[in-house]
Amino acid sequence: MARALFLGGILACAQPARAAITETDFLEDLPVVLSASRLSQPVNEAPAAVTVIDQDMIRASGFRDIPDLLRLVPGFTVAYTRDNTWGVSYHGLGDAFSRRMQVLIDGRSVYTPGFGEVPWASLPISIEDIERIEVVRGANSASYGSNAFLGVINIITKTAAQVAGGHLSVQAGNHGTAGALFRYGNGTDDLHYRLTVSDQRRDRFDNQAERTTTRHLDLRVDYQLSASDEITTTFALSRGDWRQGVPGDIADPVRGLDVGSEHFQTKFRRVLDAGNEWSLQFYHTRLSKADGFLAVLPSPPFPPSSQVPVDFGYTQWRDDLEFQRISQLSDALRVVWGSEVRREGVKAPGYFYNQGSPTGTLYRLFGNAEWRLSPEWIVNAGALAEDHYLSGFDISPRLALNFLPSADHALRASITRAYRSPTFFEESGDQRYFYLNGQPFDRIFAPSAGLQAEQIFSRELGYVGHIRPLKLQVDIRLFHDRLTRLIGDRNIGDDPASVNPKLFQYANLLDATIRGGDTQLRWTPRKWLDLIVSYAWVKIDSPDADIAASTPRNNFSALGIFKLDQGWEASAGVYRQDYMYWLGDGDYTAAFTRVDARLAKRWELQGRQVELALVGQNLGGKRYEEFRNDNRFGRRAYLSLTLDW
């Protein structure tokens, strides 16, 4: 009955009336992106395929967690795993760590050095503060170095001047969904700031003991020093009071976690003229988790009162300094080049037995040139040289040729090579457990014998078009990726003295070939209708059956946005994928189709803008599997109230 009322409300309001329209409601030009080559380029001139998730899409999707937004990108698979982590992958090899993609927030990497995870749940950023997300579909180490292996996700936040005034939003729904956010922005002609504070709460699945409360504070200050110089500074921190574990499991009991992250980032930028500028950026990040408990072993088979201390806690940190220079050398030639030095480390005694705190320093030198041979032909050539503290020296080159027979159509051919360096744990993880009296109990992982960086050689053909008579934008990518030296764990022998006789070690074990195609369409036939559709077909060939099944063969999404009369807006999203296997601690998960919908009403109240929205998720009602067979996502709904002044 509730579902019928919800859908009925949308259909009743879905009348194409004379709504107020802004310029962003009706697309006239192909979007301009920054993340493909570090140069500002229309997507049809970029050397790689790029998907832009804009504010309209973010709002209309109804998603409250950043990883969910990537369901709108062709070829991406997304799942909440367990232990407050997310699995996000592009074209396969997905696990609970998102370890083969570079994720940036305003140019700051959030990929952690210790375990290669992207800590989605503890990032000190709110969806309301996101300006757009640019997703480079494919290897991009030529621009961003190791770990930009299968793609790059660049989250770009709003400037302080964009959010002047107050903003308050609250959400409440079933499955423990609740949230509150307050933001205030102000400033003068030269100085602007915004301050955001947020409290978000989640209760993921019925069969899990996982509940999270995460609070964060985010301060951004933009200062225009002169007509040519500006400095941007951000400071943010988050604290999480999380509950996780499995009832009755001594190895993973129900317990509370104290999680925190913080960062400081400052960037100086000097604009010499329209085509020439340079910038210097520094940032510091720190991520910590306190997760220690005492495992009480059953008797028998263990001696009475046997106890084993367990410590899954860690502290990971990074300091990064980057210089970048953009130059317009002629009407036909633009270049960007720069260098980067990074110092990072991890402290996790439970994972690195008797090793202290592993640390390392990497160095990078990068450059990309955009050369217009003629109005129809553009060459993008670039490379990044990196000296990594674990995998040594590598060069990641890329060459792309774009043919533009007209301003609205472009063909692209490119080749690139990229790397993923091992993490500290893959290289030297040594995980051991001891009784309280100090006697050995078990050993799970041993340090590697020396790892090489994973390597990918990628070839692609692309088409980007704007068919103006149909109000249709098209992006098609065909790809063939050859992956070598993939890092995986193997059983290196039995230890009869251990409770679990298997001892694992990471090694360069496997190769794989990934091929297929993905496409995205954006159709705006009327000013009140915006339809975004994506589809991907992917096949992995590998001697390892799990890797071969680590992506759905078919993956589809569609988001329709209806801007209606008198402040009404309705949207509906459909997400469909075939069965797949999640690597690591995941399972084979069945194919599913998920339908979400949102209905919102905006109005003015005493000079303030008010919006009330109702969001329903998985309205079909059939629970589907996420990451593990026992993670069942059922029907959910929440209300949202937003006030701007």
336 pLDDT band, cuts 50/70/90, is: very high
Structural domain boundaries, residue 403: 15-644
Which pair of tokens denotes residue 60?
């209309």
Tell whether 579 is covered by a domain: yes
Please list the alpha-helical segments (H only) found in 406-549.
424-428, 545-548
Please report the pLDDT score of residue 172 as a whole number: 96
- Positive or negative, the CA dihedral 575, 578, 580, 586 is positive
Tell whether 397 is covered by a domain: yes
The rounded distance, in Å, linking the Cα atoms of 24 and 52 is 13
Nearest to 153 by CA among 80, 84, 100, 219: 100
The helix/strand count (H/E) of the chain reads as 6, 39
Encode pLDDT of 523-555 as tens digits.
Answer: 999 999 999 999 999 999 999 999 999 999 999
Torsion of CA 582, 587, 590, 591, to 10 degrees: -10
Please report the pLDDT score of residue 8 as a whole number: 38
109 pLDDT band, cuts 50/70/90, is: very high
The rounded distance, in Å, linking the Cα atoms of 4 and 459 is 47
Tell whether 2 is covered by a domain: no
* Residues 613 and 639: beta-carbon distance below 8 Å: yes
16 pLDDT band, cuts 50/70/90, is: very low
Tell whether 8 is covered by a domain: no
Q: How far is CA 189 from CA 144, 161, 225, 226, 232, in A?
A: 34, 10, 11, 11, 15
Please report the pLDDT score of residue 207 as a whole number: 59
Please report the pLDDT score of residue 9 as a whole number: 40
pLDDT at 25 over 70: no
Nearest to 454 by CA among 478, 428, 482, 430: 482
Residues 6 or more apart from 369 whose CB is under 8 A from it? 333, 334, 335, 379, 380, 381, 382
Please report the pLDDT score of residue 1 as a whole number: 37
Tell whether 7 is covered by a domain: no
Tell whether 6 is covered by a domain: no
Tell whether 202 is covered by a domain: yes
What b-and-e string marks burial along 259-284, b requiring 16 or more CB atoms within 10 Å of the CB? bbbbbbbebbbeeeeeeebebebebe
* Residues 578 and 602: beta-carbon distance below 8 Å: no
The percentage of residues in the chain with a pLDDT greater than 90, rounded to a whole number, is: 82
pLDDT at 12 over 70: no
The rounded distance, in Å, linking the Cα atoms of 296 and 262 is 34
Mean pLDDT, residues 400-423: 97
Please report the pLDDT score of residue 23 as a whole number: 38
Encode pLDDT of 413-437 as tens digits.
Answer: 999 999 999 999 999 999 999 999 8
The rounded distance, in Å, linking the Cα atoms of 536 and 519 is 6
The rounded distance, in Å, linking the Cα atoms of 602 and 54 is 19
pLDDT at 321 over 60: yes
The rounded distance, in Å, linking the Cα atoms of 383 and 369 is 10
> Which value, in Å, is the radius of gyration of the alpha carbons in the chain?
25
Mean of all residue pLDDT scores within the chain = 92
Cis, peptide link before residue 300, omega less than 30° from 0:
yes
Q: How far is CA 598 from CA 87, 138, 456, 553, 595, in A?
A: 25, 31, 40, 29, 11
Tell whether 72 is covered by a domain: yes
pLDDT at 209 over 80: no
pLDDT at 73 over 70: yes
The rounded distance, in Å, linking the Cα atoms of 270 and 562 is 41
Angle among Cα 596, 598, 601 to the nearest 5 degrees reads 180
Please report the pLDDT score of residue 301 as a whole number: 80
* Residues 370 and 334: beta-carbon distance below 8 Å: yes
- Positive or negative, the CA dihedral 111, 117, 123, 125 is positive
Q: State the total domains in the chain.
A: 1
The rounded distance, in Å, linking the Cα atoms of 474 and 461 is 14
CATH code assigned at 22: 2.40.170.20
Q: Which of 1-10, 243-252, 601-610 has the lowest mean pLDDT?
A: 1-10
pLDDT at 279 over 60: yes
The rounded distance, in Å, linking the Cα atoms of 425 and 486 is 15
Residues 6 or more apart from 226 whose CB is under 8 A from it? none
User: What string of DSSP letters covers 97-122?
Assistant: T-TTSEEEETTEE---TTT----GGG
Encode pLDDT of 378-396 as tens digits.
Answer: 999 999 999 999 999 999 9
- β-strands 102-105, 151-157: how paired? parallel
pLDDT at 19 over 80: no
* Residues 74 and 519: beta-carbon distance below 8 Å: yes
Q: Quickly count: other Cβ atoms within 10 Å of residue 5's Cβ.
A: 9
408 pLDDT band, cuts 50/70/90, is: very high
